[in-house]
Chains A and B, each alone.
Chain A
Amino acid sequence: KNEVEQSPQNLTAQEGEFITINCSYSVGISALHWLQQHPGGGIVSLFMLSSGKKKHGRLIATINIQEKHSSLHITASHPRDSAVYICAVTGNQFYFGTGTSLTVIP
């Protein structure tokens, strides 16, 4: 059983579309992280949040602690957004989801 579940596993979108990636977790957490991993590249931290909502450019992350659920939204998607997006939660250590592979087609 995975402590962190993401959906969808794979997502293809047309440039300009609004994208949502979902994350559900089953453990008690202190914080939730959204990470971005490009093919062959390292991992970049996008957001760390423990409540409410954060926005950075075209990216928005929300979390509902009661429902143990978070969403990552990308507005006006662009081909350069193509990457794997990973949800991770921290309790006493990091627990990672398996990632959502996003492809944005021009």
Chain B
Amino acid sequence: GAGVSQTPSNKVTEKGKYVELRCDPISGHTALYWYRQSLGQGPEFLIYFQGTGAADDSGLPNDRFFAVRPEGSVSTLKIQRTERGDSAVYLCASSSQGVNTEAFFGQGTRLTVV
């Protein structure tokens, strides 16, 4: 497709389980961003990739969160030992170069930890 695609669109998991969230950016976009948005809040930065490497991972809340982008396109956000507080919409965006080029957002993955 032409836009940023995120899968799954919804994920319900039990506390303590491991989850993976996938982001397919726009083809050719070198920059990829992960954010999460809690109800009634603005998006919160998690991590920013430039190519295959994490240019800035300062937003990852703790070591249960990890993200990869091994070939510089698709990215996976991995959450270990999920907690109820991890419930949020996880948003992915991509841009052609970096933070100063227009970003295109996916529809998000709604994660619910029960």
Is residue B44 within 8 Å, beta carbon to beta carbon, of the partner chain? yes
Chain A, interface residues (CB within 8 Å), range: 20 to 34
| Selected interface stretch from B13-21, B65-73, B75-83, B100-108 | B100-108
Please determine whether B99 and A95 come into contact, CB atoms closer than 8 angstroms: no
Is residue B43 within 8 Å, beta carbon to beta carbon, of the partner chain? yes
Neighbour of A96 across the interface among B40, B44, B106, B107, CB < 8 A: B44
- With a cutoff of 8 Å between Cβ atoms, the chain B residues found around residue A94 in the complex are 33, 35, 43, 45, 48, 99, 103
Q: How many residues of B contact A (CB 8 A)?
A: 24
- With a cutoff of 8 Å between Cβ atoms, the chain A residues found around residue B102 in the complex are 33, 45, 48
- With a cutoff of 8 Å between Cβ atoms, the chain B residues found around residue A93 in the complex are 45, 48, 56, 58-59, 99
Is residue A30 within 8 Å, beta carbon to beta carbon, of the partner chain? yes
Bound complex: CA of A62 vs CA of B58, how far in Å?
30
Please determine whether B59 and A42 come into contact, CB atoms closer than 8 angstroms: no
In the complex, what residue of chain A is closest to B33 when comparing beta carbons?
A94
Is residue B62 within 8 Å, beta carbon to beta carbon, of the partner chain? no
**Contact pattern, A 87-105, Cβ under 8 Å of B = 1, otherwise 0:** 0101111111111000000
Return B12 CB to nearest CB of chain A, in Å.
17
Bound complex: CA of A43 vs CA of B4, how far in Å?
11
**In A20-43, which residues have CB < 8 Å from any B CB?**
30-31, 33, 35, 41-43
Is residue A63 within 8 Å, beta carbon to beta carbon, of the partner chain? no
Q: Which 6 A-B pairs have the closest CB atoms?
A: A43-B105, A42-B107, A96-B42, A90-B99, A98-B42, A96-B43
18 residue pairs bridging A and B, Cβ less than 8 Å apart: A4-B42, A33-B102, A33-B103, A35-B105, A42-B91, A42-B105, A42-B106, A42-B108, A43-B43, A43-B105, A45-B102, A93-B48, A93-B58, A93-B59, A94-B33, A97-B42, A98-B41, A99-B42
Interface residue ranges, A against B (CB under 8 Å): 4, 30-31, 33, 35, 41-45, 48, 50, 86, 88, 90-99
